[in-house]
Amino acid sequence: MFASLFLTSLIAVAKVAANCAHGTSAFPRLPNVTVSTFGYDALKGPLNWYGLNKTANVACEKGTTQSPIVIDASISTVPGSTLKWTVPDYPDGAEFENLGTNVEVIVNGSLVDSDSGVSYSLAQFHFHTPAEHRLEDEFYPMEMHWVFESEGTLGDLLRLNEPGADMSRTAKQFAVVAFLVELCESPGCTDPVLDAVFSAVEDIAVPGEAVMTGPLAFGELVDKLEHSQVYRYGGSLTTPPCTENVDWLISAELLYIDVPTWLAVKKVIKYNARYTQDTLGAVNLLQNVADELCNSTSN
Amino acid sequence: MFASLFLTSLIAVAKVAANCAHGTSAFPRLPNVTVSTFGYDALKGPLNWYGLNKTANVACEKGTTQSPIVIDASISTVPGSTLKWTVPDYPDGAEFENLGTNVEVIVNGSLVDSDSGVSYSLAQFHFHTPAEHRLEDEFYPMEMHWVFESEGTLGDLLRLNEPGADMSRTAKQFAVVAFLVELCESPGCTDPVLDAVFSAVEDIAVPGEAVMTGPLAFGELVDKLEHSQVYRYGGSLTTPPCTENVDWLISAELLYIDVPTWLAVKKVIKYNARYTQDTLGAVNLLQNVADELCNSTSN
């Protein structure tokens, strides 16, 4: 009995010590952020995003160029060298937020499409586990999205935690640079940007938490895009309000992450991939459900 | 020009050599199997399984206890020791088939639920990448399903490649023993059954292919279930025809797989997870879509 109580006390002390260690993280804590109201399961999930807000989220149900999709031979590529992507280094770190549905990093930057001449401002980058796009039907354990907007000042740029009803977004043109992330097995095999960002992920384990990351440098990642072929298609945001006319730019070169890092990230992000959509230009899969069911007899 | 032709010839010879090596596999090749007609994307995918066969697959759209689900505190557990699971070893291997939507292994066995007294016969086991069920919202890279039926002879048991229209299935009662599979990083960390089965996976890379596996022994796996708590709920098959009254028995103990093995399996199975369904007993998510849309005005 006493031995048991003593053991319980020891465990309690160990837990407090662990919490104190947590509080002394190398990553400075920031004020809490607002968490998303949509989700990925049941009536909060992607089959009911339209139901959550029938005005704002109408594209989720009626759009015919929705994302994500399966990338196959029908999707053309452009050389990454035609995309002038600029993102400064952050030697003092950048803001890293847990929005409940995702974790995102707030950084400045720009993208100029030298073919079309369109210029974009960078809003943030974030992650999906597992990946949302597939390559020739195969899926990947993670996907990184860099979200750019063609209009607005930094204060107006898309944050994942904006209210879904902000219709001003739909007037903007978005571009998303994406990387699929595959698992690797050798020590130190994680991409340096993923390594730097996710070293802080356990400090934002609870939705609403935000910290400053450690130092971030993006040169290697930008070089990778510029030296790869890039799958390009016109799709949509993969979260409400599912706005279309998004210029998707998906690197054909994978990034890599090791098992311990991926497990730590998955434990925080959990599951946040929208189901793949119908072929580009074909009926929205939810509209197809309605077409199938509205006139059918009850069973 | 000649150098280029020579190189092309060398590549051609290398390819033939690779094919020959493929043909000399340690795993004896079997006659091809019939591949599934449903799929996991666009109009072949789970949002349109009802549309593929409105008679056979009606439960996919109207069922209210559909699987998979998110396992949370509302799902009760039973001790694995109450499940008498018997599966003989296969020292000469078992049939391993690529059905396009999945890979399955044909083995005999039985399950007796000592609480209810119901006896089941084992039909096959197969895999999903990523896992279909989630634990407290978190997803896992793979799930293993052992499919049992309460009626019928071995010849009548459910095969994944049976035509979706076989309504006789719905008269049967199913039980599925499931294991979630997590990644591990140390050499040799893969569960012995997964290791033995998947050593043959590259020999069934093409849908329709079948081989005999190497020797299989299941004692350790059966022990794991018997010594774990088991999440239990009444759900459905996660593939067409989505038949309900399936007794789901999901081990709280994870299995483990290393990165090279998982990558090899993922390359063959690709993506085959149905989206998680609504809360048990609540409206089917597709019926909810119809309820939302059938009376809405067109946009």
Name residues whose C-beta falls within 8 Å of residue B56's C-beta, 6 or more positions apart in sequence: B164, B165, B166, B167, B240, B241
Long-range residue pairs from B55-58, CB within 8 A, at least 24 positions apart, any chain:
B55/B165, B55/B167, B56/B164, B56/B165, B56/B166, B56/B167, B56/B240, B56/B241, B57/B164, B57/B240, B57/B241, B57/B242, B58/A299, B58/B241
Q: What is the pLDDT of residue A115?
A: 81
Helix (H), strand (E) at residue B12: helix B2-23
Q: What is the pLDDT of residue B150?
A: 84
Contact list, A182 vs chain B (CB under 8 Å): 263
| Interface contact flag, A45 B185, Cβ < 8 Å | no
For B12-51, write each residue's pLDDT tens digit: 333 333 333 444 578 999 999 999 999 999 999 999 999 9
Q: What is the pLDDT of residue A150?
A: 84
Contact list, B47 vs chain A (CB under 8 Å): 47, 275, 285-286, 288-289
| Interface contact flag, B259 A296, Cβ < 8 Å | no
Residues B221, B219: Cα–Cα separation, whole Å: 6
pLDDT band for position B160 (cuts 50, 70, 90): low
Write the residue in A51, A137, A270 that is nearest to B137 by C-beta: A270
Q: What is the pLDDT of residue A23?
A: 47
Q: Inform me whether the pLDDT recorded for B169 exceeds 80.
A: no
Residue B228 three-state SS? coil
Q: How many Cβ atoms are within 10 Å of B246's Cβ, its own excluded?
A: 23
| Interface contact flag, A259 B41, Cβ < 8 Å | no
Q: What is the pLDDT of residue A156?
A: 57
Low-confidence stretches of chain A (pLDDT < 50) are: 1-23, 152-154, 164-165, 167, 169-171, 298-299
Q: What is the pLDDT of residue B25?
A: 77
For B267-278, write each residue's pLDDT tens digit: 999 999 999 999
Give this complex's ipTM: 0.88
Mean pLDDT of chain B: 87
What amino acid occupies position B19?
A: N
Q: Nearest CA of chain B to the CA of A205: how many Å?
A: 13
Chain B contact probe: residue of A67, A102, A139 with most B CBs at under 10 A: A139
Q: What is the pLDDT of residue A22?
A: 44
Q: Residue A30's beta-bridge partner residues?
A: A210
Long-range residue pairs from B243-247, CB within 8 A, at least 24 positions apart, any chain:
B243/B59, B243/B169, B243/B170, B243/B172, B243/B174, B244/B59, B244/B63, B244/B65, B244/B66, B245/B173, B245/B174, B246/B67, B246/B173, B246/B174, B246/B175, B246/B176, B247/B113, B247/B118, B247/B173, B247/B174, B247/B175, B247/B176
Q: What is the pTM of this model?
A: 0.89
| Interface contact flag, A138 B271, Cβ < 8 Å | yes
Q: Which CATH code for domain A31-298? A: 3.10.200.10
Contact list, B271 vs chain A (CB under 8 Å): 134, 137-139
| Interface contact flag, B293 A61, Cβ < 8 Å | yes
Token pair belonging to A154: 């930094």
Within chain A, all domains assigned CATH 3.10.200.10 are found at: 31-298
| Interface contact flag, A45 B271, Cβ < 8 Å | no
